[in-house]
Amino acid sequence: MSSLTFDAALSQQSASATVNFQHTSYFKSPSVAFPMAPLPPPEAVLSQYPKNPLGVVHFENLGVVVKPSDEHSQVTKAIRRAFPGNEVPVPELYGWKTYEGRNFIYMSQMPGMTLKEAWANLSLTEKQSVTAQIGHIVSALRDIPHPSCYPYIGSISHGRVQDLYFRGDPEASGPFQNVKEFNDHVQLLSVPESLRSDQIEDPYRHLLPDTGNICFTHADLHLDNIMVSSSHPRKITGILDWEQCGWYPEYWEYCKLHLNSPWSHEWRKEGFADSVTERHEAELDAIGEYWHWRRP
């Protein structure tokens, strides 16, 4: 495993109207006589938007997924470079197109089905195996060495924190210099004004430790964005949706694993989510309350 590095060249390429990564599998034709079709034009992507309100379009016949462009493209390239043995399976980036002020990234479609689709048909042994595989992936991500000379908390590009919790607060979402600064801002965004007075103490802030490791974190793991094989033995085939990833306090992945799924689902209720990474139950209590207050 190598370190996770931001690809500045990709940012420069993205300014072009069209970028095709010819070295990727999509453009490696099995036969010179039958070259691979060009990537679908943006017009074809936009025509699918009424059926895809999230802006994600699947071209099943080509094995291509198109998303509105963002730092996701940087992350997938960085992850594939950091884990050349596919220890952390992510989509392959095929290209980039710009059309009428909109940017689109073209990626490979991951094989299999979502873990949410597969869950009800898995045996207990398969559920345990898949959960253990997720744990190995999370552990591999947490072992990535921090790239900075100081332990900032923020995005892969040294920018603001991308987690949904911080959306709508672009002026003050980091990057943070340390865990305490991050925790203070988590509290600031959610605690009602009355609880910030001198008379009433916030009952949850003390549950967030102001020291600890800073780890590379997916920050949005749930059953809908974990792909598993359709055949046996069940294997993790892809981890999707890296928009919120970055460098976070070590407790953040555990909290998001739980908050992204309903308590009533077996994934949480029977303790599968608990076994993915080390437990941070006190922090979950605090973030759960803050999350409830934060959401409209």
Domains of the chain: 8-108 (no CATH), 113-294 (3.90.1200)
Distant-in-sequence, close-in-space partners of 72: CB < 8 Å, separation ≥ 6: 105, 241, 242, 243
Phi-psi region of 221 (alpha: psi -120 to 50; beta: other; left: phi over 0): beta
**C-beta of residue 66 within 8 angstroms of C-beta of residue 40:** yes
pLDDT value of residue 153: 96
Distance of CA 188 to the CA centre of its chain: 24
**Euclidean distance between the first and final Cα of the chain, in Å?**
41
- The position carrying tokens 């890296």 is 242
- 82 Cβ neighbours under 8 A, 6+ residues apart: 1, 2, 3, 4, 5, 88, 144
Structure-block tokens of residue 141? 């991500």
Q: What is the pLDDT of residue 238?
A: 97
Dist. CA 1–CA 9, nearest whole Å: 21
- Can you give the three-state secondary structure of 74-114, one letter per residue? HHHHHHHHHCCCCCCCCCCEEEEEEECCEEEEEEECCCCEE
Classified as helix, coil or strand, 51 is helix
What is the number of other CB atoms lying within 10 angstroms of the CB of residue 143?
A: 10
Q: Please say whether the beta carbons of 64 and 29 come within 8 A.
A: no
Question: Quick one: 187 exposed, middle or buried, by C-beta within 10 A (0-12, 13-18, 19+)?
Answer: middle
Provide the residue-wise pLDDT of the chain in tens; the chain has 296 residues: 567 665 544 444 545 578 888 888 888 865 444 456 789 998 998 888 766 656 789 898 889 999 887 666 778 888 988 998 999 999 999 988 888 888 889 999 999 999 999 999 999 999 999 999 999 999 999 999 988 777 899 998 888 999 999 987 766 788 999 999 999 999 989 886 655 666 677 889 999 999 999 999 999 999 999 999 999 999 999 999 998 999 999 999 999 999 999 999 999 999 999 999 999 999 999 999 999 888 65
Backbone angles phi and psi of 69, in degrees to 5: -75, 150
pLDDT for res 150? 76
Quote the DSSP letter at residue 119: H
At which residue do the structure tokens 């003390």 appear? 206
Cβ atoms of residues 88 and 217 within 8 Å: no
Give me the pLDDT at residue 8, please. Answer: 46
**Per-residue confidence (pLDDT) for residue 32, from 0 to 100:** 42
What is the strand order of the sheet 113-114 is part of? 113-114, 226-228, 236-239
The pTM assigned to this predicted structure is: 0.88
